[in-house]
Amino acid sequence: MTTVGILGGGQLARMMALAGAPLGLRFLVMDTSAEACAGQFVPMVVGDWRDERALAEFASRVDVATFDFENVPAESAEWLAARIPVFPAPRSLAVAQDRLAEKTLFNELGIGTPAFAAVDKRADLDAAVARIGLPCILKTRRLGYDGKGQFRLKAAADLDAAWAALGAQAGKVGLILEAFVPFEREVSVLAVRGRDGVFRAWPLTENWHHDGILSASMAPATDAAGLEPAAVAQARKLAEALDYVGVFALELFVHEGRLLANEMAPRVHNSGHWTIEGAETSQFENHLRAVLGLPLGSTAAVGLSAMLNWVGTMPAAGPVLESPAGHWHDYGKSPRAGRKLGHATLRSADPATLARELAAVVEALGRWQEFAPLLARLRAERIG
């Protein structure tokens, strides 16, 4: 029986293991915390990412390794890749870990991005703002996610505060200044590429964020501007350039009818959770198929899906489970501000029915602030 090793033991590893059980796979997770939620179902190795003894134990017990967490040190991934197959390759991880390297690669491939500049010292910040203009966003090049490690600059008076907040990181992980994009929509392409180079993409997904964290997704996204072919073409170009194997997400802004790449996630992704119930093959199963060299499954959508993230606190499950469209996912994590604890997916073949079921769930849970934009899009563009 094949054993798949997963670096990172969060909810993505947990859902990967659940998807792999029908394929007859076994799993081993490595994480720095013994409390990682995948460990509720999967054996674990607990150790620091740079602990070669822990890495050696992990490698000795698996046939292939992959990731649920992109901040595993690239050198640790390279150490493993010298001993066992690792997918995606460490180079993909290294590029995605550095916002400057990532956006530079995007531009080299002809993929548009917001204007950006490296910031290594205080004078660089002044020069970058003078060139890019305000408003803009100062970010750490590494380790930031879900809105962390960022400072938005609206006026020249904000530069000192931004440097006070993030300047200490300049010498550690580097900083990058990016132009602020007044986007009309945020979308993502979730795609998969096999060991044999076969490439497939799920339908374009539209996403909404609340306090910097993904709150809701809808798929297939309304594509009135015909953006999906261009978005998928960009994802394919990126996958081929990196010789990528597995699932990844390319996050994009839609601005004045144009796509601008924000970032790449070299793993299964929150905006693809709808695929568990809403696609012929989920992102988790297809990721496993890809890294094991198995034929990829269909990425076609099954109806229309709305995914709702539970962040900070878990609501009552009843309103979702009472809905004929509802599917519930609890990650088994303790509540904490800003922490992703679970999600729900509502799926229906009929847009009007989905809008009605979604409204009933949101009303019962009292979560209008987070999910009203999704419901408004569904009502306005699916029903008319």
Query: Do residue 205 and residue 302 come from a single domain?
Result: yes
pLDDT digits (tens, 9 = 90+) for 373-384: 999 988 876 544
Whether pLDDT at 123 is above 50:
yes
All residues at 6 or more sequence positions from 65 whose CB lies less than 8 Å from its CB, including other chains: 4, 5, 6, 7, 58, 59, 80, 84, 85, 86, 87
For range 345-370, the mean pLDDT: 93
Q: Quick one: tokens of 29?
A: 């997770």
Q: Quick one: tokens of 384?
A: 């008319």
* Within a domain: 108: no
Instruction: Note the pLDDT of residue 168.
Output: 81
Residue 251 to residue 188: CA distance in whole angstroms: 4
* Within a domain: 191: yes
The arrangement of strands across the sheet holding 26-31 comes to: 44-46, 26-31, 3-7, 64-67
Q: Using the 8-state DSSP alphabet, how is residue 210 labeled?
A: E
- Residue identified by tokens 């293991």 is 17
Domain termination residue (choose one: 179, 212, 228): 179
Can you give the pTM of this predicted structure? Answer: 0.95
pLDDT digits (tens, 9 = 90+) for 74-122: 899 999 999 999 999 999 999 999 999 999 999 999 999 999 999 999 9
Whether pLDDT at 167 is above 90:
no
Query: Do residue 54 and residue 123 come from a single domain?
Result: no
pLDDT digits (tens, 9 = 90+) for 316-342: 999 999 999 999 999 999 999 999 999
The arrangement of strands across the sheet holding 136-140 comes to: 116-119, 175-179, 136-140, 150-153
More confident: 358 or 169? 358
Q: Where are the beta strands (DSSP E) in 194-245?
A: 199-201, 205-210, 213-219
All residues at 6 or more sequence positions from 141 whose CB lies less than 8 Å from its CB, including other chains: 98, 99, 100, 118, 173, 174, 175, 176
Whether pLDDT at 170 is above 90:
no
For residues 124, 253, 296, 272, the Cα torsion angle rounded to the nearest 10 degrees is: 100
* CATH of residue 344: 3.30.470.20
More confident: 330 or 370? 330
- Domain with 124 in it: 115-179
More confident: 368 or 292? 292
Residue 66's pLDDT band (cuts 50, 70, 90): very high
Instruction: Note the pLDDT of residue 381.
Output: 64
* CATH of residue 62: 3.40.50.20
Identify the H or E element spanning 81: helix 74-81
Query: Do residue 284 and residue 154 come from a single domain?
Result: no
Query: Do residue 142 and residue 197 come from a single domain?
Result: no
Which range, of 123-137, 147-161, 265-279, averages the lowest pLDDT? 147-161
Query: Do residue 160 and residue 292 come from a single domain?
Result: no
* CATH of residue 175: 3.30.1490.20
Query: Do residue 246 and residue 377 come from a single domain?
Result: yes
Percent of the chain exceeding pLDDT 90 equals 87
The string over 111-122, giving b where at least 16 C-beta atoms fall within 10 Å of a residue's C-beta and e elsewhere, is bebbbbbebeee
Query: Do residue 13 and residue 80 come from a single domain?
Result: yes
Residue 145's pLDDT band (cuts 50, 70, 90): low
Query: Do residue 213 and residue 271 come from a single domain?
Result: yes
* Within a domain: 107: no
Answer whether 290's CB lies under 8 Å from 192's CB.
yes
Instruction: Note the pLDDT of residue 384.
Output: 43
The chain-wide mean pLDDT, for the chain, equals 94
Whether pLDDT at 146 is above 60:
no
Instruction: Note the pLDDT of residue 320.
Output: 98
Query: Do residue 211 and residue 356 come from a single domain?
Result: yes
Query: Do residue 214 and residue 163 come from a single domain?
Result: no
The total domain count for the chain is: 3
pLDDT digits (tens, 9 = 90+) for 197-254: 999 999 999 999 988 899 999 999 987 678 999 999 999 999 999 999 999 999 999 9
Task: Give the sign of the dihedral formed by CA 129, CA 131, CA 134, CA 135.
Answer: negative
- Residue identified by tokens 């034929």 is 295
| Angle of CA points 361, 362, 367, to nearest 5° | 140
Whether pLDDT at 143 is above 80:
no
3-class DSSP state of 337:
coil
CB-side exposure of 258: number of CA atoms within 13 Å?
10
* Within a domain: 209: yes
All residues at 6 or more sequence positions from 336 whose CB lies less than 8 Å from its CB, including other chains: 312
- Residue identified by tokens 């394919």 is 236
* Within a domain: 273: yes
Query: Do residue 189 and residue 175 come from a single domain?
Result: no
Query: Do residue 163 and residue 52 come from a single domain?
Result: no
For range 58-69, the mean pLDDT: 97
